[in-house]
Amino acid sequence: MTADVGITSSQDSGPDDRTGFFRQFVALAGPFWSTGRKWEVRGLTALLVALTILQVVSPILINLWSANLFNALEQRSMDRFMAQIGALMVILLFAMTVASTHMWVKRKLQVKWRKWLTRRVLDDWMAEGRHYQITHIPGEHDNPDGRIAEDIRNATESAIDLAHSLTYCLLLLISFTQILWSLSGIITLPLGGSEIQVPGHMVFVSLLYATAGTTAAVLLGQPLVRTVNKRQTVEANFRFGLVRVRENSESIALVHGEPDERRRLSDLFANVIGAWDRQTRALVHIFLFSSGYQVLATGFPILIAAPRYIAGAITLGALMQIAQAFQQMTSALSWPVDNLSKAAEWKASVERVLSIDRALQELAAHALVCHEDRNICPIRSDSDTLRFEGLTITSPDGQAVVSGIDAVIAKGERVLITGDPDAAIKLFKVAAGLWPWGSGRVALPADANIFFMPQRPYLPIARLRSVLAYPKGPDSFDDATLTAALERVTLSHLIPRLDDTATWEHTLTLGEQQRLGFARLLLQRPDWIFIEEATAALLPEGERQMMTLATTEFPGATVLTVGYHSALEEFHQRKLELVPLNDGQVAMRETRLKIERRREMSSLDLRNWLVHPLRRAAERKE
């Protein structure tokens, strides 16, 4: 039996599909100019455009200054030469002021845009468990940390850089086209038995020169776009591999897995080197052409205009002015060539940001529009019970895992869920709203204060008081309350370290981490408690202490526990056993438990208790 998957896959639709790449980018990042502090943003944008216009004034002034300078040199006039020195100082001061102010405004706008877009994607990513769900749906949205940290930075910074350079080149092109047209004069070309007059011939020469260069560069640079995208992907995979080793360093060290990890990281880095080499080959072709193109652009206009100077039609100053104007025009027209590599990197980053945003929006759409026949949608009901009605849990690809679950858990009941580990944990995730794949109805108590206790509690890198109070703030509880909670779970040795900051998941043993989870339980005071193997790392007596604490401290609370050994039965009234069937699915079997206080565990129970959590941890990677 399979079920339709409510969240669609985006893996087959790239950013160039649907409404177009640029339109998607504008839809994602464009609201920056119309939301929040929009007038400040628009003011900075207008100032950036004005400063870009003033930047164009500098090469125009230099062009005019160059003509006057060479005319003064040709006339051997010291007075005019000294005047040009003074003029150069003024132009220099103007250019320095404009350039520095422009840089400040541009970077201010870049960081504001990056901040806005990062916050938008980060808020979507961290909403309603989507950071977890996105790891289970198909599509090109792996390494979300790199996409949010690096690709958003490149997408915003490079977009403004490219927009500025394009605007600057367009203004430069317009300005120097007029200058070059006026300086070119009119030349007469013989054509058959007649002559034709060509005004502004240097403009046409510049256009032909730049068009030929741009066309050749674009053809040569097509492989660069593919190599840039590939390199960013393998770089992100290598970073992610390093992070994984750091996060699991203890486990790797205990089993001496360094050789295997070294090989794995070496393979990932070999992919980085391969992508680097492919990008290098593509860049060599580009630079081989562009370097010759730029050198030729320096002397080519002088060679073209020199006959008019030799004939006495123009002055030396006009000749140099023509050469500079030609270079400025070809430089402006060569914008695609000069920015091909940066544009390719920008496009690759934008595509990566669009991919993760598309996946997050699909998850958000599922949360807003929930179809009970296609997705599991936990709702808050008016009842004080937890109800599973006709529940079928599937994998993200639609393969059924659990079928036909119907159960009612009343307020104050204590229920043990055992049997198939994968199915049991998915049932918990369904109740938490983290697993929407499947069908059926899940109704949560309307006013229930629910607290989930995973096998390994999340411990942020922060002061211990913040870790203990999580997810509330560190000031939510006073020292006396925190101290009492630590004492109740036999973690008194941590009391002097309440203001210490450490990587607690590496500092504390797993047993200490699970006890700290029960300390959080004492602080949060919920009335519905979901325990997901949260005592699996404790010794039998320690597990008994923690479960007894939960029983006596919260006598009226509803407790649902995922566990796999019989010692837990004495703390529960019912047992829901998820039994694997021959067809690969799982069915539910209910048993009433007789609550009694057993002081000893059988040798079989003890052996199962010690061995099963280790085997289960190796088998299950959620």
What percent of the chain clears pLDDT 70, i.e. is strictly above it?
A: 86
Q: How high is the pLDDT of residue 513?
A: 93
What percent of the chain clears pLDDT 90, i.e. is strictly above it?
A: 17
526, pLDDT greater than 80: yes
Tens digits of residue pLDDT in 411-455: 889 999 888 888 888 888 888 777 878 888 888 887 788 888 888
Q: What rounded mean pLDDT belongs to the chain?
A: 80
User: Could you tell me where in the chain the CATH 3.40.50.300 domains are found?
Assistant: 379-459+508-619
Q: How high is the pLDDT of residue 193?
A: 67
Give the length of the chain. Answer: 622
Amino acid at 434: L
Tens digits of residue pLDDT in 204-225: 888 888 788 777 777 776 777 6
User: Could you tell me where in the chain the CATH 1.20.1560.10 domains are found?
Assistant: 21-368
Radius of gyration of the chain (CA): 35
- What average pLDDT does this structure show over 95-123? 90
For residue 483, name the pLDDT band (cuts at 50, 70, 90).
Answer: very high
Q: Please report, for residues 207, 287, 299, 317, the alpha-carbon distance to residue 295 in angstroms, rounded to integers and kept in the order given.
A: 17, 12, 7, 21
Q: How high is the pLDDT of residue 607?
A: 39
Q: How high is the pLDDT of residue 145?
A: 77
Residues 337, 330: Cα–Cα separation, whole Å:
11
Q: What is the CATH number of domain 21-368?
A: 1.20.1560.10
DSSP 407-443: EEE-TT-EEEEEE-HHHHHHHHHHHHT---BEEEEEE
Q: How high is the pLDDT of residue 595?
A: 53
For residue 103, name the pLDDT band (cuts at 50, 70, 90).
Answer: very high
Q: Is 375 helix (H, G, I), strand (E, B) or coil?
A: strand
Instruction: Read off the tokens for 308.
Output: 């008019």
Which overall architecture, per CATH, does domain 379-459+508-619 show? 3-Layer(aba) Sandwich (3.40)
253, pLDDT greater than 60: yes
For residue 485, name the pLDDT band (cuts at 50, 70, 90).
Answer: very high
Q: How high is the pLDDT of residue 600?
A: 39
Q: How high is the pLDDT of residue 609?
A: 38
13, pLDDT greater than 70: no
Q: How high is the pLDDT of residue 21?
A: 79
For residue 514, name the pLDDT band (cuts at 50, 70, 90).
Answer: very high
For residue 615, name the pLDDT band (cuts at 50, 70, 90).
Answer: very low
> What sign for the dihedral angle of Cα 206, 207, 211, 217?
positive
The 10 Å Cβ neighbour count of residue 547 is: 24
Q: Is 50 helix (H, G, I), strand (E, B) or coil?
A: helix
Q: How high is the pLDDT of residue 208?
A: 84
For residue 84, name the pLDDT band (cuts at 50, 70, 90).
Answer: confident
The pTM assigned to this predicted structure is 0.62
Residues 188, 286: Cα–Cα separation, whole Å:
37
Q: Which of 14-23, 55-64, 163-172, 553-562 comes out lowest in average pLDDT?
A: 14-23
Residue with tokens 């590939």: 230
For residue 194, name the pLDDT band (cuts at 50, 70, 90).
Answer: confident
